[in-house]
Every structure is written in C-alpha cells, then in structure tokens.
Amino acid sequence: MTCLKDLTFKELQDFVTSIGLEKYRAKQIAQWLYKKRVKSFDEMTNISKQTRKLLSEKAKIDALKLVKVEESSDGTKKYLFELEDGNRIESVFIPERDWNTLCVSTQVGCPIGCKFCLTAKDGFARNLTTAEIVDQYIQVQRDVGEENRISNVVFMGMGEPLLNFDNVRKAVEIMTDKNMLDLSTRKVTISTVGIIPGIERMAKEMNKVKLAISLHATTDEVRDKLVPINKRYPIKELFKALRKYPADNVRRIMIEYVMLKGVNDSEEDAKRLVKLVKGIPVKVNLIPFNPYPGAEFEPSPRSQIEKFQKILWDNNVAAFIRDSRGQDISAACGMLRTKEKNQLAQNISS
C-alpha cells in the first residue's frame, strides 16, 4: 500500500491517475494532507465517498504512531514515534520568540558512532523512508496547533542525513513545494558530520537549503576519537570540499561545535578553528554538551565557552552559544528512546 507522504507532488499526480482518478485530485489531496493535516480519508469532504473509499484501499496517510510526548518548562517538546516495524525515533519541537523549529531524524539510530552521542550507543537499524521523515513535521504540527506554525526544520536528529540522501532530498522537496508544506528553502538546514560525497551531491542537488557541519574538533587526532568517520574524511579534505560549496552570506555554512571540557575547548582550538574557516562564509554554533547518564564527557565551563567565543569574534568569525533546550526532559538526542527502552526492559524483568 502506498503511503502518500512518500510522494512528491509530481508522483502524487502520477499516482492518482494510475488508479483512475483525475489529475486535479492530487492538489485536493495535497491540501488535505499538508495544509489541513488530516488523519483519515473520511475527513476529505470535498472528495466523493466513492473516491475516498478507493483511496483508502490503495493508500494510507500516516507513517508514524505517536507514542509519547514530553514537554519542558521552556516550551521544548520531545516526541517519540513508533514505526510500522516496531522501531522508534525522536523529534524535538523548539519554540523561539519569533519562530518555531523542528528537529527531525533521518535514520533509526546512527552508524557514525560519535563518542559523545547517546544515539550512537544504541547502534543503527535502517534509513527512514521519505514518509517517515515528512510525517514527523505533520504530526508535531498537529500537536502544537496552528498558532505555533513550524517555520524552520533542521535535519539534526537521529542519524546522518547524507547517508540517506535520496529520501532526505525527496523530503526536502515535499517540505518546500508550494502545493505541500511550502517552507522556505532558507529555513531548512541539513547537518552532516562531513560525508564528502554527500556534500558534493548536495552542492549540485540541494544547495538552496542550508548546510551544517558537525565539526567538534580542530585536529585529526582529537576528531578521530570523537567522530571516527574523520579517519575516512579528514579535516583537510572536509574543508577542501567546503571551500567549493556554493555558500554565501545569506546561506552561510553552519559549524556545529559541541564544547567538551578539557577535550576541544582550549584557546588553541579556537585559534585553529579561525584558520580552518578563513575565507568560507560560516556561522559557528558553540553547543554546551548536554550530559546523559553514563556519559564519558563533561560540559565545558561557561567561562571557557565565552573565552572560545571571544577569540572567534575577535577574528571576525560569527560565533553564537546555542544553549541546550529542554534540560528538564529527555531532550538530548536519543534520551527519550533509550529511557523508554530501559523502562520496558525493567518491566519485563520484573
């Protein structure tokens, strides 16, 4: 059975004609799916009952089942979704004063194995389908309501987006299509640890959205330990690819840098980072580490983060401290899924 959220608008047109419906039905269906976010075909009231019955026999609407929601005192909401095969993924809604952001997952688990990431400790199962990516937006928007429209989407949840390139590209197409979610390409950001072939494809096929690089270190020695795939795509090669990427002051490349006490937060690291990004339109996000039970790292002291930031600004590198949100809930990537999994195991053993 076809999940309609797997289809671009052109594919939706092809689908409706393939089952004997008029081509214009695609626009009607897209309105119900993406503007009104219906849960069933029965809610599509400007479509005949006979047509709705046919659609229900040939297609389905949702790809995810909402399992749990946690809400922080700061308004951040963490969502746990179950997939048809029983796997679970997470999404995070982050309200800001002037906009709302959704952080979406692209894989079940993650194959990269970053040493500070809780998701990595649970291994990797599979890529998400396009529908499973898009449905995170739909279901969270349903929950938060029309008054809290999600304007920004960041592909920074569970998984490495550029290792699921084709499905991520289709999800972005659906999210930015005026007939569908109609988001601005400037409000969509894809984060990668530095998969160079994916960055090169993105430069050709998805360069209207923003690129973020999870860097987290300024030497190969440290990055090899924190982000093991650095051994395959070392810092020098990564920045060679970034210098070729079609970035500008409107679509600057974001450098994501988790601050780890005594590991990557020295003044020397800050100075090396200045040299690495020289000549590239970038914005650096300094992210205080969000610790979890059993973590082998500690967050850098605030004073050290501010020193690091000042060195960057003094050298004309825009740098911002991105404080962790939802610290009173399971907001760090992988925490809610792990907590629920551990709770289930305890219930079974008892």
200 has catalytic annotation: no
**Is 114 labelled as part of a ligand binding site?**
yes
- Report which residue type is found at 89: I
Q: Measure the CA dihedral 25/28/30/34, to 10°.
A: -170
In 3D space, the residue among 111, 106, 133 whose CA is nearest the CA of residue 191 turns out to be: 106
d(CA 177, CA 86): 30
**Is 160 labelled as part of a ligand binding site?**
yes
Pick the catalytic residue from 90, 103, 132, 256. Answer: 90
In 3D space, the residue among 65, 70, 112 whose CA is nearest the CA of residue 92 turns out to be: 70
**Interior CA angle at 324 toward 220 and 77, to 5°?**
125
- Does residue 201 contact residue 223 with C-beta atoms inside 8 Å? no
d(CA 79, CA 350): 27
**Is 3 labelled as part of a ligand binding site?**
no
Cα 93 to Cα 96, 223, 257, 278, 335, distances in angstroms:
10, 29, 21, 33, 15
- Report which residue type is found at 172: V
d(CA 276, CA 281): 12
**Is 103 labelled as part of a ligand binding site?**
no
**Is 226 labelled as part of a ligand binding site?**
no
Q: Which residue is associated with the tokens 């089942």?
A: 65
90 has catalytic annotation: yes
Return the SS3 of 78. Answer: strand
**Is 290 labelled as part of a ligand binding site?**
yes
d(CA 7, CA 5): 5
Cα 122 to Cα 48, 64, 239, distances in angstroms:
47, 20, 30
Pick the catalytic residue from 3, 70, 256, 333. Answer: 333
**Is 159 labelled as part of a ligand binding site?**
yes
**Is 117 labelled as part of a ligand binding site?**
yes
**Is 191 labelled as part of a ligand binding site?**
yes
**Is 157 labelled as part of a ligand binding site?**
no
β-strand 88-95 against 77-82: which pairing, if any? antiparallel
Q: Exposed, middle or buried, 156 (CB in 10 Å: 0-12/13-18/19+)? A: buried
Which residues define the annotated binding site for [4Fe-4S] cluster? 110, 114, 117
Residues making up the binding site for S-adenosyl-L-methionine: 159-160, 191, 214-216, 290
Catalytic (active-site) positions: 90, 333
Which residue ranges make up the annotated binding site? Answer: 110, 114, 117, 159-160, 191, 214-216, 290
